[in-house]
Amino acid sequence: MRIIIESDAAAVAVRAATRVADLIRRSPGCVLGLPTGRTPLGFYGELVRRHEEDGLSFSRVVTFSLDDYIGLPPHHSASFAAYMRRNLFDHVDMDPENTHVLDGGAEDLLVACESYEAAIREAGGIDLQVLGIGSNGHIGFNEPGSSLGSRTRVKTLTRETLEANASSFEDLDELPRLAITMGVATILEARSCLLLALGEEKALTVRDMIEGPITAQAPASALQLHPDVTALLDEGAASRLQRRDYYRHRS
Ligand code: F6R
């Protein structure tokens, strides 16, 4: 795993956006896997800025969102589909046909999961999967205990995840208990992965992901099995890494 430590969140956003912009310029029809959450907000802001100011075009880019809640209508402001529109899709020249989101409102969720996997295959696979990490070590909504061989499926959210995401809901009774998420094995099939983590509250989880054992109890640790992963961290998120000096000296 390549570890890059930047001074702060803004520098992480710029570096992540540069990685994606370089890929889009090299390969305008590339396939991106995209996360939601607080961590990638600066990164999406930077991509929008590059579209507006530098003419970065998303017209042929294909995207797959990592996960979404079950039971929320797509226009609900806390749905991940709405998040993607609000923070990226509505501000760039993306073709809506190319933006795939998981349908947490599908009548048959099993079919929705299988069609998502099929759509990823038909698009030729994901070139770059961007990820955040939950404080409990989840990637996507693959909560601790998720099989490292899991595919896109329904997951029950943990109490920690519900608490972490509660602020997006005005009415806590609306907070979904279930989500639909790409599986760990689906994520590992991406040709490369870029994981972003910010802040000291992620430091122990980041250490487990990079320096801990590979275990379903910390699903992000499965990224150690992937040949092309970059973890892009700010100082806070990197602060508990034991081999921090080595990562700095290497990059
Ligand atoms: C969201 C997702 C989650 C988040 C994680 C971190 O699509 O897949 O794994 O990346 O929960 O969320 P933030 O960035 O809000 O700390």
pLDDT of residue 181: 98
Measured distance CA(69)–CA(82) in Å, rounded:
11
> What 3-state class would DSSP assign to 53?
helix
Give residues with Cβ within 8 angstroms of 140, minimum separation 6: 35, 66, 67, 131, 181, 182, 183, 184, 187
138 classed as catalytic = yes
Residue ranges around ligand 1 (CB below 6 Å): 35-39, 66-67, 80, 132-134, 138-140
Catalytic residue among 6, 46, 51, 67: 67
Mean of pLDDT over the chain:
96
Catalytic residue among 46, 143, 208, 235: 143
**Centre of ligand 1 from the C-alpha of residue 133, in Å:** 5
How long a stretch of residues is the chain? Answer: 251
pLDDT of residue 172: 84
Q: How are strands ordered across the β-sheet holding 67-69?
A: 67-69, 178-181, 153-156
**Centre of ligand 1 from the C-alpha of residue 84, in Å:** 13
Parallel, antiparallel, or unpaired: how do β-strands 178-181 and 67-69 relate?
Answer: antiparallel
Measured distance CA(130)–CA(107) in Å, rounded:
28
User: In which residue are the tokens 């702060």 written?
Assistant: 8
CB atoms within 10 A of CB 160: 15
Which amino acid, one-letter code, is at 126? Answer: I
* Contact in structure between 34 and 66 (CB atoms under 8 Å): yes
Which residues make beta-bridge pairs with 154?
A: 180
Catalytic residue among 46, 68, 100, 136: 136
143 classed as catalytic = yes
CA-based max dimension of the chain = 52
Q: Whose C-alpha lies nearest to ligand 1, atom 12?
A: 37
pLDDT of residue 202: 98
What tokens appear for 242 in the block?
């034991």
- Residue 109: its H or E element: helix 109-122
User: In which residue are the tokens 């430590």 written?
Assistant: 5
- Residue 117: its H or E element: helix 109-122
165 classed as catalytic = no
What residues of the chain score a pLDDT lower than 50? none
Measured distance CA(2)–CA(38) in Å, rounded:
23
Which amino acid, one-letter code, is at 78? Answer: A
Measured distance CA(225)–CA(170) in Å, rounded:
39
What tokens appear for 115 in the block?
């069609």
Can you spell out the DSSP letters for 150-189?
Answer: --SEEEEPPHHHHHHHGGG-SSGGG--SEEEE--HHHHHT
